Amino acid sequence: MENNTTTFQDVSRVVNLTEMPLNPLEEQVITIFLTMLICGVGIAGNIMVVLVVLRTKHMVTPTNCYLVSLAVADLIVLLAAGLPNISDVVAFWIYGYTGCLCITYLQYLGINVSSCSITAFTIERYIAICHSIKAQFLCTVSRAKRIIAGVWIFTSLYCTMWFFLVDTDETVYTNGVVVTCGYRVSRSLYMPIYFLDFTLFYVIPLIVATVLYGLIARILFMSPLPSHLNDRAGGGSVHQGHSSTTNKANKGAVSARKQITKMLAVVVILFALLWMPYRTLVVVNSFIDPPYHNTWFLLFCRMCIYTNSAINPIIYNLMSQKFRVAFKKLCKCPWGHREAEYNVPMYYSVMKNSTHECNEPVTEQEEVSYHITHRSNMTDDEALSISS
């Protein structure tokens, strides 16, 4: 993220015979309040996402693995970009040279990993829905973990260049010395790096997401129910009861797929919208001199970035029953525990279609309402014993 400080070229100390500039009080109050609110909610929410997936077996799915990677990246952004902004607006840079290097590195690491994680789960959704046979072998938890490891290794190496691009600078005023964390190279040198970041971690992910979600929407929302999800056992009267049950399960699976796809699409749309002000500002400032650095617009851009890192757990809670129940259970709410007992959906990464003699596996990597489907053939006592 672009530092909200002046650009510096190979000077370690500048003498300015004026008084030390201070941020207006209203700017300090608004910045501290919004940053603490957004970062507090975001840090708590992303920690909960990581905990519920790691602690709940049926939550360990390929898609949720990518969401954990996204949550960890968002945590890094909030901790490395959000919290230092509080001290920076009140005073000046207090973290020294090492802090300047490490915090800048972590900011870009979190930003780039979150973008790659969004691209990864978009591709995973496309394969799972549009190529369900291949998804049995491609969309697995073990493969998702390998991809996530590759993403973190790649971005960790890519972001090392920031260790050589930033430095601290001291400016001497009549009433004190101000230390700032800025760039050690000229604007003409670091602007190509911004455009590279803009292309790799914003433009390309959005193009990929637009194309793939368009193809997913055509399959899920515009096409009839895929033949492999239709009931194939309805030919005889002996199988009519089983056919009805299977048909309900298939419809529930398709409905679950639609819901999870809508949720992930919302995550992508919010990523595009909330990053747009900052990305646009960087592009515009590349062509105008002097660059546009309005204090309130910069504050707006930063708050949008922090909001993007904080809002995803809220989206999961609003749009996914599985996450909502898991969050309530983690918080140990009485009503959450009861709902977890009776309504938690079972998850099968690969289901077997019992209507096929060859037991050919049918990919279904979404939450399936196992209890609802199967309790129709049980007594109340049997259902309760399974729930417990």
Determine the residue type at 173. Y
Place of tokens 């809220």: 314
* CA atoms of 36 and 225, how far apart (whole Å): 47
Please write the tens of the pLDDT for every residue from 337-355.
444 443 444 333 343 333 3
Sign of the Cα pseudo-torsion (73, 75, 76, 81, in order) = positive
pLDDT at 347: 37
Contact 139, 128 (CB under 8 A): yes
* Residue 207: pLDDT band with limits 50, 70, 90: very high
Contact 118, 147 (CB under 8 A): no
Please write the tens of the pLDDT for every residue from 166-187.
998 888 877 777 888 888 887 7
- Which range has highest mean pLDDT (103-112, 160-169, 322-331)? 103-112
Contact 123, 212 (CB under 8 A): yes
* Torsion region of 332: left, alpha or beta (phi above 0 gives left; psi -120 to 50 gives alpha): left
- The verdict on domain 13-387 having CATH code 1.20.1070.10 is yes
Q: What is the pTM of this model?
A: 0.77
* CA atoms of 342 and 344, how far apart (whole Å): 6
Q: What is the mean pLDDT of residues 175-201?
A: 84
**What torsion, rounded to 10 degrees, do the Cα atoms 102, 107, 109, 113 define?**
160
Whether a cis peptide bond, with omega within 30° of 0, leads into 290 is: yes
Percent of residues, the chain, with pLDDT higher than 90: 45
Domain edges within the chain:
13-387
Q: Which residue has the higher pLDDT, 61 or 226?
A: 61
* CA atoms of 120 and 114, how far apart (whole Å): 10
* CA atoms of 252 and 248, how far apart (whole Å): 6
List 363's β-bridge partners, or say none: 350
The yes-or-no verdict on residue 31 having pLDDT over 90 is yes
pLDDT at 336: 42
pLDDT at 171: 81
* CA atoms of 194 and 299, how far apart (whole Å): 19
* Residue 289: pLDDT band with limits 50, 70, 90: confident
* CA atoms of 159 and 197, how far apart (whole Å): 10
* CA atoms of 129 and 65, how far apart (whole Å): 17
Helix (H) or strand (E) holding 363: strand 361-363
- Which range has highest mean pLDDT (21-30, 60-69, 328-337)? 60-69
